[in-house]
Amino acid sequence: MKYNLMKLFQKERDLYVEGKEPIIWEIMSRASKWSQITGWKTGKSDA
């Protein structure tokens, strides 16, 4: 995804960043669900 966006928006950083937004939110959503299912908690170095 990032490489495709990079090719499309080589000189338009704002559009590149906007294009990444949906996948970033998807990753964050999945990570949140995973942490709730597994009971994962941040460690001292993660907080």
The 10s digit of each residue's pLDDT in 1-47 is 889 999 999 999 999 999 999 999 999 999 999 999 999 988 888 76
Residue 21 lies in a domain: yes
Domain encompassing residue 14: 1-30
Residue 24 lies in a domain: yes
Amino acid in the structure at residue 23: I
**What is the reported pLDDT for 47?**
61
CA dist 25 → 5, 16, 36, 44 (Å): 16, 15, 17, 25
Cβ–Cβ under 8 Å, residues 20 and 26:
no
Cβ–Cβ under 8 Å, residues 4 and 14:
no
**What is the reported pLDDT for 44?**
83
Residue 36 lies in a domain: no
Q: How many domains does the chain have?
A: 1
**What is the reported pLDDT for 9?**
96
Question: How far apart are the C-alpha atoms of 24 and 26, rounded to whole Å?
Answer: 5
Residue 25 lies in a domain: yes
Residue 16 lies in a domain: yes
**What is the reported pLDDT for 45?**
81
Q: Angle 27-20-32 (CA atoms, 0-180°, nearest 5)?
A: 15
pTM of the predicted model as reported, rounded to 2 decimal places:
0.70
